[in-house]
Each structure stands twice: as structure tokens, then as C-alpha cells.
Structure 1
Amino acid sequence: MSSTAKKAICILSGGMDSTLASYIAKNDGYEIIAVHFNYGQRTEQRELKAFRDICNDLGILEKYEIDIPFFTQIGASALTDSSIDVPTEGVKPGVPITYVPFRNGIFLSITAAIAEKEEATAMYIGVVQEDSSGYPDCTDEFIQDMTKAINQGTKEETKIEIKTPLVHLSKAQIVQEALKLDVPLEHTWSCYKEQNEACGVCDSCRLRLNGFKEAGSSDPIPYKAI
């Protein structure tokens, strides 16, 4: 693309949601710059592989792999503290122990710095409000407030829109949309626990598998237990 092409920074974890959001960004006509965060999560290496595979699929040339070591110092989440077990008995009411404190706020802040440097006008994030695990940093209201803060705290000529194309979709709708756009779902990774075969029982696996089931399709990644 030419240097005058509109640019978007896509926060790409390597999961199904962020991958679909990145494909939507491409369909929206943006030149994509991808950003991935290694933050001490249990499946850090597997997510990084997924990120790199998807960047290849999308032909993304410019990407950032950002290390955030302090989440393991903070702990408080089963994703970043190995002494806390990842729950496997299904989604329960309230904010689950897999919630990483203010993770999306920190991701968006770092991405905003990249967006300002790259003169991007959009940031895509695959947050899902209605079918998530109840994370407070996945809501419309939070994203609107972050957008305001980011534009308030950057240069006057910097105008950034945070795009959340999946925020009101169910997991089944996400699967359907991904299939429609030929998203390589076999390259995505959602499991909170395992890096070779997905566990099939953590909240993320359950939501993903249920989405495929409701969409009348089968998940192409390997599972230990279904």
C-alpha cells in the first residue's frame, strides 16, 4: 500500500476474536500494523506462534511484539500467577479469576502510543461484551472512555478511533463471521491452560467450543478433552 493509505493498529493476541477483528480491519481497507503482548500468560509461546502465523496469513509486514513483565509481579490472575489454578468447572457469575487487572486498558494505552507514532487513525480490539467471561474491560462504556482519554492525552493532530467490531456478537456469530471471511481458525489459539492441545474445559475453551457448536461447525484445533 502507498504511504497515504489509512493505517490501523490491530491488537492481535492470536485468539479467534482478535484475529477476526484484524480480518475485518483489512476488509475495511486499512493497512494493518499488528501488535502482540507477551505478558507472562501461561500460553505465551503458543499465542506468539498464533500471532506470527496470522500475520503471515494477512501479509502483515509491520508488527510489534511487546513484552510486559509486570503482570506476573502483580499476579492476582490465574493467567499470570502459576499458583492460582485456571478454573475448569464452567462460567460462573461475577468477574472470574482469569481476569488480568486492567489488561485491556494497558494494552490500549501502549497501542495508542504506537498509533500516534505510526500516524494511524484506528485501533482494532476484539473485545466481546455479551458473550465474554464478565471482564469489566470489555464493555462499550470502557472503550468509549478510553477513546476519550487517548485523544485527550495525545497531540492535537492525533485522532484515534477504537473499533470494536465484535463487541455485541455472540461466540456463534463470531464463528459464522470468521468462516464467511475465510479466517484461518486453525491458526488461532484460545486455551488458557495448554500450549499443545487445547484443554477443552477452561472458560475460554468452553466459550469457543460452544460457539462452534451453535454455529453448526467444528473447531479445527486439537483438544485434549471435549
Structure 2
Amino acid sequence: MAAQTNPHSRALVLFSGGQDSATCLAWALQRFHHVETIGFDYGQRHRVELECRSHFRTRLIETEAFAPWRTRLHGDHLVDLSVFGAISDTAMTRDIQIETLANGLPNTFVPGRNLLFLTVAAALAYRRNLQVLVAGMCETDFSGYPDCRDDTVKALQVALNLGMDRRFVIETPLMWLDKAQTWQLAYTLGGPLLVDLVRRETHTCYLGERNTLHDWGYGCGECPSCALRKQGYTAFVTGLS
């Protein structure tokens, strides 16, 4: 688990408590000597993910197999963006049925969410002297969210660098991976122990269901996020056999 050489040694990971961002956190710990995390309370329906954030970080530090990462993992920052949730009439911020809208997007899309998250993260990184922002946006397995596209992230990187007069780098290690490959990445980074930690201690279910532990993790098993996670895990396990 030796850190790879990288000219940018300080990173801030956008860590929601979900599978993707947890994998990104491990990816960052493998590469950077100083890693901090940031999360956002935006009034999300599945706010149980906020509890998973601290549980995952604690387990990561306590697990002896990940000892080389302990000295690299530093502060965590939880930012209150509840006002954003108050103006977002979506299935992620309201107790309404998940469905596809007339524009072809699911109503789980929260307009501007990732744009705001990256902007706030950059503002914190500016103060903390962190050069790299690591985020779990993905254009391979996504629901058409326009703020998850590679072009969007690249454009925002340019805007942030111009607006703050800094040279931030936004890394999106999952951008071209499907969910099976994301599970595989976790396996490559930390073996079965990391896969099991992601399976048990992260949360992606849109409904916030954590009563049942499936092979692929906790969740309702029916929402689009659970279906994608289950499908990816099944393909990953099949590939190992």
C-alpha cells in the first residue's frame, strides 16, 4: 500500500458515505500523503449515509491491514447545506415516489448538487491548502445526471481555477468504470477486507433502508441505486470465480 509518487500530495475527498465515495477515499489514501474528507448535509432523504461516513472512517483506521493509510487520513468536515435541500423538489429530498420525468431524467436528480458540492469543497481546499479534489462522479453507470459528466467536471475545474486563482485538480477515478469495476477497484486497493468494509459500512439506497444486509450491502433492494449496486456486485463476484 505504498503511496505512488504524485506532485500533488494533499487531497480532499468528497465523501458521502456511499460505495463510490468510499472507494474514492481508499484510492486517494493510496496516492496522497495527506487526505481530508468533506461531506454535506443537504436534507437528503437517505441521511443515514451521514452516519456511515464516520463509521467507515473509524473502521478504516482501526483495521490493521490498512495501517499504512492511518497517518495519511486527517480531518473530516461536515457542511450544512440544508438550505439547498429546501429548494430541491426531488425524490432525494422529498418523500415522494421515484419516477422518470418528462425531460427523461429521474426525479432523483438534484439540480446543481454536484456543482455546489465541488464549489464548497474547493473553497475549503483553498483554506486548507489542499490541491486535489477527489469525487465519485461516473459517466458509465449513471442515470443521465448532467452534473456527473466528464465535460461538466472539466468545465467546473477551469471555472474554479479561474475564480480562485488556484491550480486545483479534480480527480474522478470512477468516471469510466461500471459498478462491477468499482467493486473490483476496491478489491485491488484493499482486498476482501476493503470490499467487505464497503459492503457493510457504506450506504447508497435512496430510501435510507438499513434493516436488511444483502450480499451486496444494506438497502431496500428495489430502488435504482440498490439495483445498480446489486448488479455490479453480482458481476464482480462472478468475475472472481
Higher helix share: 2
Q: Are 1:38 and 2:41 counterparts? A: yes
Q: Are 1:205 and 2:223 counterparts? A: no
Q: CA deviation at 1:6?
A: 2.0
Task: Give the match for residue 86 of structure 1.
Answer: 98
Q: Are 1:28 and 2:31 counterparts? A: yes
Q: CA deviation at 1:72?
A: 2.8
CA deviations over 1:177-199 (Å, ceiling 9, x no partner) = 11222232111111000242311
User: Alignment identity in percent?
Assistant: 32
- CA distance, structure 2, for counterparts of residue 133 and residue 142 of structure 1: 15
Q: Do 1:37 and 1:67's aligned partners in 2 also have CA atoms closer than 8 Å? A: yes
Q: Are 1:113 and 2:123 counterparts? A: yes
Q: Do 2:138 and 2:149's aligned partners in 1 also have CA atoms closer than 8 Å? A: yes
Task: Give the match for residue 222 of structure 1.
Answer: none
- For residue 28 of structure 2, what is the amino acid of its counterpart? A
Map 1:151-170 → 2, pairs under 5 A: 151-155=161-165, 158-170=166-178
- For residue 146 of structure 1, what is the amino acid of its counterpart? L
Q: Are 1:63 and 2:65 counterparts? A: no
Task: Give the match for residue 194 of structure 1.
Answer: 208
Q: CA deviation at 1:176?
A: 1.1
Q: CA deviation at 1:73?
A: 2.0
- CA distance, structure 2, for counterparts of residue 94 and residue 175 of structure 1: 28
- CA distance, structure 2, for counterparts of residue 97 and residue 86 of structure 1: 6
Q: Do 1:76 and 1:101's aligned partners in 2 also have CA atoms closer than 8 Å? A: no
CA deviations over 1:18-58 (Å, ceiling 9, x no partner) = 111111111112411100101111111x1111111222215
Please, which of 139, 145, 148 is the counterpart of residue 129 of structure 1? 139
CA deviations over 1:104-132 (Å, ceiling 9, x no partner) = 00000000001100111100001111111
Please, which of 138, 144, 148 is the counterpart of residue 158 of structure 2? 148
CA RMSD in angstroms comes to: 1.9
- CA distance, structure 1, for counterparts of residue 80 and residue 35 of structure 2: 20
- For residue 41 of structure 1, what is the amino acid of its counterpart? Q
- CA distance, structure 2, for counterparts of residue 117 and residue 72 of structure 1: 25
Give the count of matched residue pairs: 206
Unaligned runs of 5+ in 1: 218-226
Please, which of 17, 21, 24 is the counterpart of residue 18 of structure 1? 21
- For residue 215 of structure 1, what is the amino acid of its counterpart? F
- For residue 86 of structure 1, what is the amino acid of its counterpart? I
Q: Do 2:28 and 2:35's aligned partners in 1 also have CA atoms closer than 8 Å? A: yes
Task: Give the match for residue 221 of structure 1.
Answer: none
